């Protein structure tokens, strides 16, 4: 059976080229497109401030991340978890951009874009002209959003797996 990894990140902003950083990484292992229960989840010290507008999205402040590992400290563990398998994310280009910026900063090789499966692209193709955010897809497919108060990488992974 095929193994793939469904993942998500939360960040300090929208653009790694301007210094925004990863603050949370979550990944779920899928075998045959079904979650196995094997997960990777870590909060990361971004080594910079977290703008108020970003905190409004994911709920994390710099104080929440004090004492957490830096990305370079968790990079090898993350890479071991994802292996060489397909990487699935909603708006995957965003997450790949951030992870590749962090991997480069940590002296590691970037993720191969050929591994990327973007569920946002899939949704846009299947439902053209309709809202295709993760929340919109959850509502469309009857996935319970009651646990969602802010964007959280682990919860977002579980919601996407249900979608």
CA distance 4 to 117: 10
Q: Which residues pair with 137 in a beta bridge?
A: none
The answer to whether the CB of 47 falls within 8 A of the CB of 56 is: no
Tell how far CA 113 is from the center of its chain: 15
Nearest to 46 by CA among 16, 26, 76: 16
Q: Is 41 a catalytic residue?
A: no
Q: Helix crossing, 153-162 with 134-141: angle to 10°?
A: 40
Among residues 41, 58, 90, 151, the one annotated as catalytic is 151
- Just list the catalytic residues: 151
């Amino acid at each position: 059976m095929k193994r793939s990894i469904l993942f998500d990140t939360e960040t300090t902003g929208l653009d790694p080229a301007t210094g925004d950083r990863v603050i949370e990484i979550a990944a779920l292992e899928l075998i045959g497109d079904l979650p196995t229960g094997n997960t990777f989840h870590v909060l990361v010290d971004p080594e910079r401030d977290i703008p108020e507008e970003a905190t409004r999205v994911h709920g994390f402040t710099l104080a929440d991340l004090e004492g957490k590992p830096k990305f370079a400290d968790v990079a090898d563990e993350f890479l071991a978890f994802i292996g060489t398998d397909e990487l699935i994310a909603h708006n995957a280009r965003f997450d790949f951009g951030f992870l590749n910026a962090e991997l480069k900063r940590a002296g590691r090789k970037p993720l191969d874009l050929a591994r990327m499966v973007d569920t946002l692209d899939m949704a846009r193709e299947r439902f053209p002209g309709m809202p295709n955010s993760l929340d919109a897809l959850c509502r469309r497919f009857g996935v319970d959003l009651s646990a969602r108060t802010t964007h959280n990488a682990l919860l977002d992974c579980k919601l996407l797996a249900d979608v």
